[in-house]
A = this chain, B = another copy of it.
Amino acid sequence: MNLTRFEKGLKKLSEVDGNAGENVIAALNDIAPDLGKYIVEFAFGDIYCRENLNLQEREMITLSSLMTLGGCETQLEVHINGALNVGITPKKIIEIFIQCIPYTGFPRVLNAVGVAKRVFQLRKAG
């Protein structure tokens, strides 16, 4: 069966982000539906479905990039959940952020660890 890029992307998005990812797309429906479509098709259908890196490696790279960018707390929250969903441990997530200190300095790392703390607590509570 030949899946479209959108179908492939939606499947991958569910695999990585579960409901959180679908909520991001749904929240875009009335304001910028094409933005949601591109995230599904391009980010998840094209990029996340590629070979040469496994899903855990892709999430590690994504977390490093989002943390370094700064101002992406909402997206970090989604992808910290995604990292946990694909089997990266909380300890390893914190370690990813610590590895970035020499390249980004402490403030970006403090912000990312703050988001991680909230996510870990919510999942424990939930």
Contact = CB atoms under 8 A, between A and B. Distances in A.
Interface of A: 24, 28, 31-32, 34-35, 38-39, 42-43, 46-47, 50, 52-53, 57-58, 60-62, 64-72, 74-75, 91-92, 94-111, 113-114, 116-117, 120
Contact of A104 (B69, B74, B97, B116): B69
Nearest to A31: B117
A103 to B, nearest CB: 4
Contacts of A96: 53, 61
Given A42-B102, A98-B50, A69 B32 contact: no
Q: Which 8 residue pairs are nearest across A and B when measured between Cβ atoms?
A: A64-B64, A43-B102, A68-B68, A70-B71, A52-B95, A71-B71, A65-B103, A72-B107
